[in-house]
Amino acid sequence: MNFRSLVTNSILLILLLLPVSGLRAGQQEPDSLQTADVISEELHSPKKATIYSAILPGLGQAYNKKYWKIPVIYIGFGTIGYFISWNNDKYRFNKIAYRHLVDDDPETRIYEKIEALKYYDLDNPTHFSNFKDGLIKRKDYYRRNRDLLIISMVGFYGLNIIDASVDAHLFDFDISDDLTLQWSPEMVNINNGYYYCVNFTFNF
């Protein structure tokens, strides 16, 4: 086999292999694109957002890039926490005041700090009983408020987790210019009577 025949055969072999290589590349490309799409879809995980907000409130919102929600969350926690502390202080004061009132110890008279005491004569049995009942009611009132606020704190914590999870599920939701909501007032006839209603139209 001379050099010319060798070159010719080599060129023919290359030409024969090119379509096969191109075919293989064409077959692999959709798989690569599909894999890239799957990876892209899995990058933003609602599970991660939920766990993040459960570990640290606001962290899931940061993961969802809803940074404006973080100060709102902590203002909410701070406000609820402040009123829990305030009601707990009032509860403890009235609890101690009641204890001092009934212990007959002249050295323990914290109840004298209560402004309403000026309207009562504690030497009068009726006044004493009414004042004591008032302390019990105030004590129970502030304790109930404190307990309800603690429950609210737990609920607010749960709401923070739910919010992060919902936002994560909607993170890749397509809101394009083609998606519109139109409404218009209409009058409909029902049983020979006309009623006003609102007609909503969604365009996708």
178/76 Cα distance (integer angstroms): 37
Instruction: For residue 28, tell me if it sits in a domain.
Output: yes
204 within 8 A of 175, measured Cβ to Cβ: no
Q: Is residue 60 located within the same domain as residue 27?
A: no
User: In angstroms, how far is CA 187 from the centroid of its own chain?
Assistant: 40
Q: Is residue 49 located within the same domain as residue 143?
A: yes
Q: Is residue 4 located within the same domain as residue 88?
A: no
pLDDT at 127: 92
Q: pLDDT by residue for the chain (204 residues), tens digit each?
A: 544 554 455 444 444 444 443 444 444 455 555 554 555 456 789 999 999 999 999 999 999 999 999 999 999 999 999 999 999 999 999 999 999 999 878 788 898 888 888 889 988 999 999 999 999 999 999 999 999 999 999 999 999 999 999 999 988 775 555 555 555 556 566 666 655 555 656 565
Q: Provide the b/e sequence for 6-37 (b: ≥16 CB within 10 Å).
A: eeeeeeeeeeeeeeeeeeeeeeeeeeeeeeee
Distance (Å) of CA 84 to CA 50, 72, 137: 26, 18, 18
Instruction: For residue 137, tell me if it sits in a domain.
Output: yes
**Selection from 82, 55, 58, 199 nearest residue 145 by Cα:** 82
pLDDT at 25: 44
Instruction: For residue 146, tell me if it sits in a domain.
Output: yes
**Selection from 96, 92, 81, 63 nearest residue 156 by Cα:** 81
pLDDT tens-place string over residues 26-82: 444 555 555 545 554 567 899 999 999 999 999 999 999 999 999 999 999 999 999
In which domain, by residue range, is 26 found?
1-43
Q: Is residue 68 located within the same domain as residue 142?
A: yes
Q: Is residue 53 located within the same domain as residue 16?
A: no
User: In angstroms, how far is CA 75 from the centroid of its own chain?
Assistant: 13
Instruction: For residue 189, tell me if it sits in a domain.
Output: no
User: In angstroms, how far is CA 8 from the centroid of its own chain?
Assistant: 72
- The number of folded domains in the chain is 2
Q: Which residues contact 158 (CB under 8 A, 6 or more apart)?
A: none
Phi-psi region of 198 (alpha: psi -120 to 50; beta: other; left: phi over 0): beta
Q: Is residue 59 located within the same domain as residue 112?
A: yes
Q: Is residue 25 located within the same domain as residue 58?
A: no
Q: Is residue 21 located within the same domain as residue 106?
A: no
Q: What are phi and psi of 196, to 5 degrees?
A: -85, 140
Instruction: For residue 30, tell me if it sits in a domain.
Output: yes
Q: Is residue 129 located within the same domain as residue 88?
A: yes
Instruction: For residue 196, tell me if it sits in a domain.
Output: no
Q: Is residue 91 located within the same domain as residue 167?
A: yes
Instruction: For residue 22, tell me if it sits in a domain.
Output: yes
Q: Is residue 26 located within the same domain as residue 87?
A: no
The owner of tokens 């737990």 is 154
Structure letter (DSSP) for residue 204? -
pLDDT at 6: 47
Instruction: For residue 183, tell me if it sits in a domain.
Output: no
- Where do the H-state alpha helices sit in the chain? 3-43, 46-55, 59-63, 69-102, 125-169
Q: Is residue 13 located within the same domain as residue 100?
A: no
pLDDT at 18: 44
